[in-house]
Structure 1
Amino acid sequence: MALTEIHVAVAVICRENRVLIARRPDHVHQGGLLEFPGGKVEPGETVQQALVREIQEETGLQVPVTSLKPVIGIRHDYGDKRVFLDVWRTDAAMGDAEGREGQPVKWLAVGELRDDEFPAANRPIIRALKLPSWLAITGEYRAPADILDQCQEGIRMTRPELVILRAPKLNADEYQSLARDLVMQGRDQGVEVMLHGAVDQLVRVPDAAGVHLPWREARAFQHRPVLETKWLGVSCHNQAEIIHAEALGADYITLGPVLPTPSHPGAPAMGWESFRRLVAVATVPVYALGGLTAEDSGAAMSRGAQGVAGISLWWPRL
């Protein structure tokens, strides 16, 4: 007999770079673990109405409904129950938080959130909070010796938090030397650097933040190929690829091309509606990719995405 899916509204309440967290009572499902405030969406309620009600009942905080912004939707099968976590964020909660149902509550910095202290379904929420809202990817370069200067110019102008170093024309030695230099310089500027391509590059550049796998690389793996302490991203183009990336334990995916893009001429664009449908079934943070600008971030996020990824968002023109 099929299990009924429970629609749960989940609130990420942020204040001064901290997130409000509660501890589940020992006697309930997943008791003793930490959780984000929220609860079941009742019949006749919108998810926003449920969040306003649950937040007030659980913590005493008042939340303007217009302040709620979508974060991610997650479907998870616990074996004994199936849940759809409908996650929304607010930075405008008013009042002093308290555990009105007897639960301990506290404010934690995002960096203090640990997977093993939360129910398994919460892992993508933690990833979504730790990942930036846009993902920078390196583009065309004048010459191999100029890539580092172009990266520095882009960093100076746009201040990305996470950069994917994509330079397919370099040989392995050139790429690894560049990656080591960029990782070292990025550290001083608060920028993390992701490698692009083969997983084994992390062995040679161990201080990189992680690796982003093109689909041709990702499809060869059946299990997560990097440590949990490193970011793992995967390029996806359809639902089958998304499912495979999730099975690998990807921390995020890029999905596209959403619109026609000069970097992949002739590649069919999926359009915003197909993108929205695919994001709705994904259980990891999704970046929209392909033909997008910084102005498209709102359109992507309104369709459930983490944000946008791309070259033109930051890369200096040749």
Structure 2
Amino acid sequence: MADKTAAKRETHVAVAVIIRDGRVLIARRPKHVHQGGLLEFPGGKVEPGETVQRALVREVAEETGLKVPESSLEPVIGIRHDYGDKCVFLDVWQTTSAKGEAEGREGQPLAWMLPMDMRDQDFPAANRPIIRALRLPSLLAITGDIEKVEQGCEQLASALKRWSPPLVVVRAPLLNGGDYRRLVASATRVCAREGAGLIVHGGPSVFQDAPEAAGLHLPWREASRLSSRPIPGHAWLGVSCHDAGQIGHAVRLGADYVTFGPVKATATHPDAVSIGWPAFRESVSMAPLPVFGLGGLGPGDVLRARQEGGQGVAGIRFWWSEN
């Protein structure tokens, strides 16, 4: 009998996200290959003894004629995916420094696409977290605990003028439902003026009361009660996670991202035990979705978070003032 384990051995694939003027280079897979006809990012199998960076330089040159400086490559995300007939590890790196004009040297059509125009159904399932990673920022701003609607909106407006984050999670666990709805209605207008998307925080009913919100962030206590995605696919779904098992549950819910930590000691949760970067890296390496490091982190930790396989950093204190 054939060795099924050997037949499903993981294939290490280097994937290049080549960015030029905000657009990403995309190719269409030939009809006769695995996942044929779908769109994909350039790349290919990492050969024995080859680094992923060297594989990307080689594959991009062979497929598109572009020259990628190896030193320009930065990590994006790592994705493990089981297609049933094939297991792959997509090792995704990006560059904005590719030189030359792209051409499909293997006969494949090429196009430059905005991340916002990429549709899940046009890509292999394993590629879909890459789309999420490209659309999400490297910094996810979270408000401190807002206790009063008017004061909270003033704090939000002031913080947005200082930092201008693309996405803001608005937390107000001490407000009742009616006051939180009022807060979100006002905060949405504040965010719109500053070009930020507002993500509500709480259970699914919170999002149902705020259809104008950009998404929903589930605290773990809310996520643990669910068995399927509670909001439409066009909105962001995030989950607060504290161990690998919780990340796995978030994946099963269809989350678009998770926050994970605390990575370091944090003043907002002084009793929480920090996990450190090694544990962060280990858990993120098995997570097929973008992961924001959380806890005692700020903008200066974004590069480290990305080097450890994360999307970036989420936090409160680096941008939010309680005064």
- Asked whether the two chains share a fold, i.e. TM above 0.5, the reply is yes
Q: CA deviation at 1:180?
A: 1.3
d(CA) in 2 for partners of 1:95, 1:143: 55
Letter of the structure 2 residue corresponding to residue 83 of structure 1: V
Q: Name the counterpart of 2:308.
A: 303
1:157 matches 2:162: yes
* 1:141 shift after superposition: 4.8
The TM-score, its normalising length taken from structure 2, stands at 0.97
CA contact (8 A) 2:147 2:175 kept: no
Match of 1:243 in 2: 248
Do the aligned partners of 2:120 and 2:128 also contact (CA within 8 Å) in 1?
yes
State the distance in 1 between where 2:155 and 2:88 align.
46
Question: Per-residue CA shift, 1:223-271, capped at 9, x if unaligned?
Answer: 1111101110000000110110001110000000011111112111101
Give the ranges of 4+ consecutive aligned residues of structure 1 lying more than 3 Å apart after TM superposition: 140-144
For residue 143 of structure 1, report the CA deviation from its aligned partner.
Answer: 4.0
The alignment's TM-score, normalised by the length of structure 1, stands at 0.98
In the alignment, is the contact (CA less than 8 A) between 2:27 and 2:41 conserved in 1?
A: yes
- 2:203 corresponding residue in structure 1: 198
Q: Identity across aligned pairs (percent)?
A: 56
Q: Which residue of 1 aligns with 2:317?
A: 312
Measured on the aligned residues, the alpha-carbon RMSD in Å equals 1.0
SS at match of 1:244: helix
Within 5 A, what are the aligned runs for 1:171-182? Answer: 171-182=176-187
Q: Within 1, Cα distance between the matches of 2:253 and 2:57?
A: 35
1:6 is the counterpart of 2:11: yes
**Cα drift, residue 181 of structure 1:** 1.3
- 1:95-106 equivalence runs, <5 A: 95-106=100-111
Helix, strand or coil at the partner of 1:93: coil
1:1-318 pair list within 5 angstroms: 1-2=4-5, 3-141=8-146, 143-318=148-323
For residues 286 and 212 of structure 2, what CA distance do their matches in structure 1 show? 33
1:114 partner amino acid: R
Q: CA deviation at 1:140?
A: 4.1
Q: 1:142: how far off?
A: 7.2
Shift of 1:184: 2.3
CA contact (8 A) 2:218 2:240 kept: yes
Q: Which amino acid aligns with 1:69?
A: E
Question: What secondary structure does 1:72 align onto?
Answer: strand
Partners in 2 of 1:15 and 1:144 — Cα distance? 42
CA–CA distance in 1 between the matches of 2:190 and 2:298? 26
Contact 2:263 2:274 in 1 (8 A): yes
Q: CA offsets, 1:17-58, max 9 Å, x none?
A: 000000000111111100000000011100000000000000
Q: How many residues align?
A: 318
In structure 1, list runs of 5 or more residues that go unmatched: none
Cα distance between partner residues in 2 of 1:271 and 1:241? 17
Native 8 Å contact 2:170 2:198 kept in 1 = yes
Could you tell me how far 1:91 is from its partner in structure 2?
0.5
Does the CA-based 8 Å contact 2:29-2:108 persist in structure 1? yes
Match for 2:314: what amino acid? A
2:203–2:222 Cα contact (<8 Å) kept: yes
Aligned mates of 2:231, 2:149 — CA distance in 1: 28
Amino acid of the residue matched to residue 294 of structure 1?
A: P
The Cα shift of 1:316 comes to 2.0
Q: Distance in 1 between matches of 2:218 and 2:135?
A: 19
